[in-house]
């Protein structure tokens, strides 16, 4: 089930990759949209049933990253817009899981190699790579809860 959910979410998020290249305007989205609409601060304030200073504060909070999503949604709606919110991974979710699994597998292999070195049974580099590859594949397949503990 985890693998299927991961695959489906990866497919959904693939269309959002272009959003990573979009930079917010220097004065924030609220101000940019408001200006593009030709709407003044007092006009937006009236639509939101707040003071013009309240709108100025909203716009400052958006730029600083301290505006709540709920307030941002209300401001968007007052300008006949829709707030679109997403967490978009830089890479596919599968690739992120694979990197973490490999990190864990390599850590375990290093510990095992150290123990085997003490017993004078150090595996070859090829054997170690094969063991890491197999452990990585198993971790990706099973996705245990402990995958993200280290």
Please state whether the predicted TM-score (pTM) of the whole model is above 0.85.
Answer: no
Q: Are 103 and 136 in contact (CB under 8 A)?
A: no
Q: Which phi and psi (to 5°) does residue 113 adopt? A: -65, -40
The CA distance from 138 to 8, in Å, is 20
Residue 140: closest CA among 104, 101, 92: 101
pLDDT in tens, 43-73: 999 999 999 999 999 999 999 999 999 999 9
By three-state DSSP, how is residue 87 classified? coil
Query: Phi/psi at 35 (nearest 5 deg)?
Result: -65, -45
């Amino acid at each position: 089930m985890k693998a299927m959910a991961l695959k489906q979410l990866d497919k959904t998020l693939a269309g959002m990759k272009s959003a990573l290249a979009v930079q917010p305007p220097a004065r924030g989205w609220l101000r940019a949209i408001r200006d593009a609409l030709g709407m003044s601060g007092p006009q937006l304030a009236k639509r939101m049933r707040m003071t013009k200073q309240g709108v100025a504060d909203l716009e400052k909070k958006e730029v600083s990253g301290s505006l709540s999503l709920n307030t941002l949604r209300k401001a968007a709606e007052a300008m006949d817009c829709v707030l679109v919110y997403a967490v978009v991974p830089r890479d596919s979710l599968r690739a992120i899981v694979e990197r973490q699994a490999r990190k864990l597998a390599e850590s375990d292999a290093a510990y095992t190699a150290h123990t085997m070195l003490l017993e004078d049974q150090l595996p070859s580099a090829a054997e170690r790579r094969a063991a890491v590859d197999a452990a990585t594949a198993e971790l990706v397949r099973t996705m245990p809860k402990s995958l993200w503990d280290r």
